[in-house]
Amino acid sequence: VYDFTRKVPHGRVTTYKDVCTAIGQGSPRSVGSALRKNPFAPTVPCHRVVASNYYVGGFFGEWGASRCSAKIHMLTNEGVEFTTDGYLATKSVIWRG
């Protein structure tokens, strides 16, 4: 999980499900669980992983746009835009590896 997530480029995001597909095992929840405990941040940019429906997803075990303002702020600083309700504004920033 960490090796794949480390490859997500600045200004791009991937999904928990895409991480599972890329590494060939696990579930989106297991990916989220591993990233919640990420001891390698910011080298492993866990903030660049969003939900499969392109919602902001979780951050440090919290879930939802109102609880993930730090994640949204970090991604916005990288040029990733979100709607006011926490969804990606454009799918052009999705990276699948």
Residue-range domain boundaries for the chain: 2-78
What per-residue confidence (pLDDT) applies to 61? 80
Q: Residue 39: its pLDDT value, please?
A: 95
What is the Cα–Cα distance from 17 to 32, expressed in whole angstroms?
Answer: 10
Q: Tell me which of 46, 72, 75, 88 is the catalytic residue.
A: 46
CATH classification code of 2-78: 1.10.10.10
* Exposure string over 15-53, b if 16+ CB within 10 A, otherwise e: bbbbbbebeeebebeebbebbeebeeeeebbbbbbbbee
Per-residue pLDDT for the chain (97 aa), expressed as one digit of tens each? 999 999 999 999 999 999 999 999 999 999 999 999 999 999 999 999 999 999 998 888 888 777 889 999 999 999 999 999 999 999 999 999 9
How many Å is the Cα radius of gyration of the chain? 12
Predicted confidence at residue 41, as pLDDT, reads 92
Q: What is the pLDDT of residue 7?
A: 98
Determine whether 46 is an active site residue.
yes
